[in-house]
Structure formats: structure tokens, C-alpha cells
Amino acid sequence: MDIESLTGPDDVASIGPEALQDRIARGDRVPVLDVRTEREYDKWRIESERLDDRNVPYYEFFEGVDDELLARLPPGDDELVVVCVKGGASAYVVGLLEAEGIAAVNLDGGLNKWAQVYDAVEVSGYEGAGTLVQYQRPSSGCLSYMLVTEREAAVVDPLRAFTDRYLEDAQAWGVEVVYAIDTHVHADHVSGVRALAAQGVEAVIPEPSVARGVDYDIDYTTVADGDVLSVGGVSIRAIHTPGHTSGMTSYLVDDRVVLTGDSLFIESVGTPDPEGDEGGAAAVGLLYDALQQQLLCLPDDVLVAPGHFSDAAEPTTDGTYTATLGELRDRMPALGMTREAFVDSFLSDAPPRPSNFEEIIAINLGRASADDDEAFELELGPNNCAVSEHPLTGD
């Protein structure tokens, strides 16, 4: 018997992925029992510092529930959330636990449905013209943005899986999406720039990214350092910030908020260049130079809106993952290091690359293709772009 063939009773208690995210966002301590194999659990799981999670594989419940097994469950009396890939094996385990009088619920649709959770939160700290919305995908830590003005909108770092969502939101706000903008060639998710372009939106990518071998079947616009796009009269200025990739470009919106992509996060810095053979000292040095010469020269009150968040990141009071440059200077040791110390510290414990990064990069360059289901499967996995435990974070 395998995990995909297991099914539980139809009437077991369940919780939807959005409701689980609401519990986590409220700050509740949520006990989670992951019943996938140990290998699957170690590779990728629901991550939050607000979770008390344990891994007990589903097959260990085949002989029934005994005291030894119960002792391995997450502690506490709160309702236990049981998860697997698609919700079948976890429903089976919930049925057994309910028979023992244990309050447990099945994560409806499993981790596959969890990966479809996508929240839109207004960035209240943005005080420029128009409205800035941060889209949050908790399963991978991906962050995207939509700048909404009175008549136009632009989406930055869109995910292909949520192409319809951006267009539907824009329609609800009564605006037209005029630009779909990438900060770089992504290695962790399939970009939605070309999917939006197919719907009549102008695709924009950094000029330095083209040299990596971009081969799109659509027309696209490139931006170089200092170029400015206008969305309903609001300026978006490109700032070349290489290091994570050679083409990595941040975008300064109305001189108030900088969308830093994968160069600077609110709890850490980006990982070294995934296009390099080893992500070595040269790439890390480029990242240091970009931080010091391109981003940290901006005023302290400029808001940083990154492309990722990790489980160590704490949202602000408005629920977004943002912070001012001044706040980051004060709390992030990496930003005050010398170049040599920065490079040495990073290389002493370089984090792993994203799952399936080679296939995803090939798709995002236009050199390989994948249907929507294949693209979604490729994206499932841990967030290795925003590192939460690394010498540079101070944790």
C-alpha cells in the first residue's frame, strides 16, 4: 500500500488551506502532523516558526494507534492538523486519531492545495502615488507585487500559476495591467510574464538577463540600469543589482519603495548566483557591491519589498513582509560588513539551490516548455532563495 492509494473516511473533520493560513497568520501555535515519508518531509514541508510540527509516516499507523505512537504527536491540546501530499493518507490517519478521541483535522487537498494559497495584502507603508499590493505564497515564500493607479497597473515578479488572479484583481479594481515585469530569470518558480503577455500585457525583463540566452516566442521590452517605466504617471526606476543573478534588477517605485527581488530580504540577503558553476566568491562579491552601491545609498525611509520571505521573517503590522532600509541597517549584520568578511561569511555556509532549478530556469529562458500541471509540480519544494539560518542573518 502506498500513500497515493490511501483514503480515509469521507466524514473526517477537515480544514481548508486558507483557513490554516489564517490560523498561522493570527499567531496561533498550530500543531501539525505530517504523515509523508521522512524523505519527503525533510525535502519540503509547511514552514513557520508558529508551527509545532512532527513527522510520523502514514505506514506507522497500519498496526493501530498505541501509546508509543501517541507520544510522538505534537504536544498540546489544540486541534491537530494532519497533512500529506493530496489529503488521502492524512484523512486515513485522522480517522484513526478521531477513534482515539483525539481532536484532529485533515488538511483538505494536502500540500498540493496548500501550494495554491495566494494572499493579496496592501502595503500600508507605501506612501507614494497609487496602491501597492503584496501577493504572498506561503508554501514557497514567493512574493509578487501589483502597483495599482487610477487607471493602470503593473505586476512585478508574477507567477504563471496565478496569471488569472492578477487579471481578475485588476478587473475588480477597474484598471488595466500594462506591464508584467521580472526582476531576474527565476530559478524557483515559473514566471508569469509570458502568460500575461499572451493576454495583451507588455512583458518587461532586465536587459542583462538577455545574455543568458532568453529565447521568447513573444515580443518583450528590456530595461537597463536607470531606465524608467511609467504606470498611470507613477515612476518605476530600474536599478541593476547583480549577484543573485547577473541580470538581477530592483525597481524603485515613486522613490518610496524598492522592490528588491532576490537581492535583499527583510531577514537576510539573496543566495549567490544560481547561473554560476559554484555560486562562488565573484558572485557573492557582486551581491555585496550591489547592496552597498545601489541599494544602501537610498534614503533610510525607503521601504524594502523583497521577492521572498522565509519562516524566520516576521510580517509588519499591516501583514506584509516589508521593512525600511534604516531598519535593515540596524538589525542585519551583513549590511555593515566589509566586502571580504561578507564573502568569507557567505561561502562558509552557502545554502542549497532551489529544487528543480535547472528545469525552471530553462522554462523561464524560453528554452524548454511545460504545461500548467508540470510547471506547478516543478515549483513544489522548499524556499532556498530567502535563507533563514546563515551567518549573514545573525541568527
Residue range 32-88, pLDDT digits in tens: 999 999 999 988 899 888 889 999 999 999 999 999 999 999 987 889 999 999 999
The answer to whether residues 88 and 132 belong to one domain is no
**Domain hosting residue 334, numbered range:** 119-393
Q: What is the CATH number of the domain that holds 77?
A: 3.40.250.10
The answer to whether residues 192 and 64 belong to one domain is no
The answer to whether residues 290 and 374 belong to one domain is yes
The answer to whether residues 107 and 153 belong to one domain is no
Does residue 85 fall inside a structural domain?
yes
The answer to whether residues 24 and 69 belong to one domain is yes
Number of domains present in the structure of the chain: 2
Does residue 128 fall inside a structural domain?
yes
CB atoms within 10 A of CB 395: 13
Does residue 323 fall inside a structural domain?
yes
Does residue 72 fall inside a structural domain?
yes
Note the pLDDT of residue 36: 96
Query: Which of 114, 145, 161 corresponds to the end of one domain?
Result: 114
Q: 220-255, pLDDT tens digit by residue?
A: 999 999 999 999 999 999 999 999 999 999 999 999
The answer to whether residues 54 and 189 belong to one domain is no
The answer to whether residues 56 and 79 belong to one domain is yes
Q: 105-114, pLDDT tens digit by residue?
A: 999 999 999 9
The answer to whether residues 103 and 124 belong to one domain is no
The answer to whether residues 51 and 162 belong to one domain is no
Q: What is the CATH number of the domain that holds 272?
A: 3.60.15.10
Note the pLDDT of residue 113: 95
The answer to whether residues 186 and 142 belong to one domain is yes
Does residue 266 fall inside a structural domain?
yes
The answer to whether residues 380 and 366 belong to one domain is yes
The answer to whether residues 191 and 320 belong to one domain is yes
Query: Which of 114, 130, 156 corresponds to the end of one domain?
Result: 114
Note the pLDDT of residue 10: 64
